[in-house]
């Protein structure tokens, strides 16, 4: 889970377009799903 969250954070930091495409609700859903993955 930590690796997936780090990969997502890195991609968001490096891809400006992705930051604007994701809606806040979609981003929240993604983080919620990642938080439920076992490590």
Residue pLDDT, tens place only, 20-33: 888 889 888 888 88
Boundaries of every domain in the chain: 2-35
At 25 the pLDDT is: 92
At 39 the pLDDT is: 64
**Rounded distance, CA 3 to CA 21, Å?**
22
**Rounded distance, CA 15 to CA 32, Å?**
21
Label residue 6 by pLDDT band (50, 70, 90). confident
Question: Whole-model pTM?
Answer: 0.54
């Amino acid at each position: 889970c930590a690796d997936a969250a780090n990969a997502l954070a890195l991609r968001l930091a490096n891809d400006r377009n992705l930051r604007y495409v994701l809606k806040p609700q979609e981003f929240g859903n993604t983080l919620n799903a990642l938080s439920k993955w076992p490590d």
